[in-house]
Amino acid sequence: MALTTALVLAGCSGGTSDPKASSSGSGPGTGAESAQSPSPAPTEVGPADFADQAKGIVDSFSDEELAGSLIIGTWSGTDTQTGVNLVTKNHLGGVIIMGDNLPQDPTSDQVKGVTKAITGARTKGQPVSIGVDQEGGPVSRLSTGALPFPPLMAFGAAQDPELTQTATAVQGRNLADLGFTIDFAPDADVTTGPKDVAINVRSAGDDYKNAAEVVAEAVTGYHLGGVGSAAKHFPGHGRLHVDSHKALPVSQKSIDELEDTDLLPFKSAVKAGVPMVMMGHIGLPDAKTTPATLNPKAYTALRTKLDYDGVIITDALNMEAVNQNLRGGETVKALQAGADLALMPPDSAAGQQAVVKAMKDGDLKKSDLKKKARRVVAMQLATADVQKGLADAESSGSGSDSSGSDSDGAGNAGAKDLGAKDPEKVLTEVGEKSLTVLKGKCSYKGTDSISIVGGSEKEKTALTAAAKDAGISVGSGGTSVSLSPNTSAEVAVGTAAPWTMRNTSAKAAVTAYDSNEYALKAVAKWLKGDLTAAGKLPVKYDGSDQAPDCS
């Protein structure tokens, strides 16, 4: 995907935390400027500035509208009108768009068609939230419809806070241009390595403080790009070895015991101004059969330990860690426990109706639900204000096009101009700075021809294209390059978690953390001998001691 336009990031001033975030610096051949410290976090205009407007909107809601405003729904299939009807009929606060709501290999225009239809579905002044799981890497619901973006571990390897923030702003601006208001990212979990089946490369790494820095910069970047973010999955999923999509994982440590470790990325996200925190489906030592999403103590801990007054959203309630036979009761239980937004109930209509009934029966207090709705609507209004500011800047001629904005401010913020950034150069820099040597030397001796073995056909095709761009011929001879740890070759190239290559017999091995075009172009440049891999391995595992320090 070629990107030729410049992006000027419009943001605001304030302070970031010291120690989840991602970051711009000078990478080989990119010509971008480097910085050793993160740019300041946004503080000027936020949900608090829309509190009065949100109160007026919420106070006008009927019980049905109030109940629906606290739900982010989902639907199956590519019929967009089904999603529109879901929002309109049930007065939903928003929807999340999943891969099956889009055609295979969608274009950006096809994605925009879906989001545009949904945008006009809500009334009474509450902007409809349109969310997506677009973390990057393995969690990229939009496929070809959005920029290719690596998982957070690539930024943990790059060790460049400004690059994390700039790249995340590029991604956020792309998503905002596609019609989204929320990206359910960044992942604030800290991975434990090979046993971490659910998170792995979605995490910045296994160092709590480094992960916290990456998360904070990502939160700021999303804001600068014009979308809301959601730090997930509180109180931390990375040390758990059960996938909550399939069953309920249980933490061996209490939230109190996690305060100086797993909670650090969430603390940094809150300090950076994250508008949402996602509660995870995680059992705790004193509530082993109850997911944190339905556990009042978990919500209280998030509010008090992190001094967090923003929106708390559940993880998807249609996951197997939650009882799927409650017929809307899961939504009621989540709101009772402390959630402001219920994400993806198994049946959104049943969830809305169950909340209305719970209000009438006294199981949910209307006054409490109105407080939740005010937080939600204020957040939605604040995001809409930022997006309007960016759009106004573009339409007035100060912005370049749909890839970015040359605004000196976002919304009413009077925001700071962080400078022009070419998205293609930024993503190229991410690929080059994150490329990490697992075995061998930081610089490869260089080759003019390779043969590719192992891996999927898609990966082979992508590496072939990248190699040819780098001036490397691809055929049956030359240096053998394996895309699989189980196929013998002179060089092994990983496109996933680094530990997947720990058993390779190759004498030289690198990981790009992803197979997007920018990651593989960095691999090809390294194979050619034109790039010294600078990534620092962000996680330790059995065999990681073979990796040299190239940072």
Structure token pair of residue 111: 């994605």
Structure token pair of residue 292: 């944190």
Query: Are the C-beta atoms of residues 498 and 543 closer than 8 Å to each other?
Result: no
Task: Please check whether residues 366 and 245 belong to one and the same domain.
Answer: yes
Pick from 171, 180, 178, 174: which is nearest to 95 by CA? 180
Provide the CATH number for the domain around residue 525: 3.40.50.1700
Q: Classify residue 295: in a domain, yes or no.
A: yes
Residue-wise pLDDT tens digits, 63-78: 999 999 999 999 999 9
Task: Please check whether residues 463 and 362 belong to one and the same domain.
Answer: no
Please give the pLDDT value at position 396. Answer: 75
Pick from 380, 418, 409, 387: which is nearest to 275 by CA? 380
Query: Are the C-beta atoms of residues 476 and 459 closer than 8 Å to each other?
Result: no
Question: Which range, of 16-30, 415-429, 489-503, averages the lowest pLDDT?
Answer: 16-30
Q: Classify residue 41: in a domain, yes or no.
A: no
Residue-wise pLDDT tens digits, 263-298: 999 999 999 999 999 999 999 999 999 999 999 999
Q: Classify residue 333: in a domain, yes or no.
A: yes
pLDDT at 54 over 90: yes
Task: Please check whether residues 440 and 377 belong to one and the same domain.
Answer: no
Give, rounded to a whole angstrom, the gap between the first and last alpha carbons of the chain: 29
Q: Which of 344, 361, 382 is the last residue of a domain?
A: 382
Mutual angle of helices 348-361 and 366-395, in 10-degree steps: 140
Q: Classify residue 527: in a domain, yes or no.
A: yes
What is the arithmetic mean of pLDDT over 19-27? 31
Question: What percent of the chain is predicted at pLDDT more than 90?
Answer: 81
pLDDT at 97 over 90: yes
Q: Classify residue 26: in a domain, yes or no.
A: no
pLDDT at 405 over 90: no
Q: Which of 382, 401, 416 is the last residue of a domain?
A: 382
How far apart (Å, rounded) are the C-alpha atoms in residues 448 and 353?
65
pLDDT at 531 over 50: yes
pLDDT at 90 over 90: yes
Pick from 363, 367, 336, 378: which is nearest to 125 by CA? 378
Structure token pair of residue 297: 């103590």
Question: Which range, of 348-362, 392-406, 492-506, averages the lowest pLDDT?
Answer: 392-406
pLDDT at 391 over 60: yes
Q: Which of 382, 404, 421 is the last residue of a domain?
A: 382
Query: Are the C-beta atoms of residues 532 and 518 closer than 8 Å to each other?
Result: no
Please give the pLDDT value at position 398. Answer: 56
Task: Please check whether residues 276 and 375 belong to one and the same domain.
Answer: yes
Task: Please check whether residues 355 and 456 belong to one and the same domain.
Answer: no
Query: Are the C-beta atoms of residues 21 and 207 closer than 8 Å to each other?
Result: no
Please give the pLDDT value at position 266. Answer: 98
pLDDT at 542 over 70: yes
Task: Please check whether residues 186 and 267 belong to one and the same domain.
Answer: yes
Question: Cis (ω within 30 of 0) for the bond into 127?
Answer: no
Of 434 and 421, more confident: 434
pLDDT bucket at 400, cuts 50 / 70 / 90: very low
Q: Classify residue 36: in a domain, yes or no.
A: no
Residue-wise pLDDT tens digits, 127-185: 999 999 999 999 999 999 999 999 999 999 999 999 999 999 999 999 999 999 999 99
What is the arithmetic mean of pLDDT over 432-446? 97
Q: Classify residue 417: in a domain, yes or no.
A: no
Residue-wise pLDDT tens digits, 456-499: 999 999 999 999 999 999 999 899 999 999 899 999 999 999 99
pLDDT at 430 over 50: yes
Pairing mode of beta strands 94-96, 139-140: unpaired
Provide the CATH number for the domain around residue 102: 3.20.20.300
pLDDT at 410 over 60: no
Q: Which domain holds residue 516?
A: 435-546
pLDDT at 124 over 90: no
Question: For residue 345, what are the CA distances in angstroms to 70, 130, 146, 278, 519?
Answer: 11, 16, 26, 15, 36
Question: What percent of the chain is predicted at pLDDT more than 70?
Answer: 87
As a residue count, the chain comes to 551
Task: Please check whether residues 169 and 318 belong to one and the same domain.
Answer: yes
Please give the pLDDT value at position 246. Answer: 87
Task: Please check whether residues 368 and 456 belong to one and the same domain.
Answer: no
pLDDT at 380 over 80: yes
How far apart (Å, rounded) are the C-alpha atoms in residues 205 and 252?
20
Pick from 137, 140, 93, 148: which is nearest to 118 by CA? 93
Task: Please check whether residues 374 and 462 belong to one and the same domain.
Answer: no
Q: Classify residue 524: in a domain, yes or no.
A: yes
Task: Please check whether residues 465 and 321 belong to one and the same domain.
Answer: no
Task: Please check whether residues 354 and 455 belong to one and the same domain.
Answer: no
Task: Please check whether residues 320 and 441 belong to one and the same domain.
Answer: no
Tally of domains within the chain? 2
* Mean pLDDT over each residue of the chain, to the nearest integer: 89
Residue-wise pLDDT tens digits, 222-252: 999 999 999 999 999 988 888 888 899 899 9
pLDDT bucket at 186, cuts 50 / 70 / 90: very high
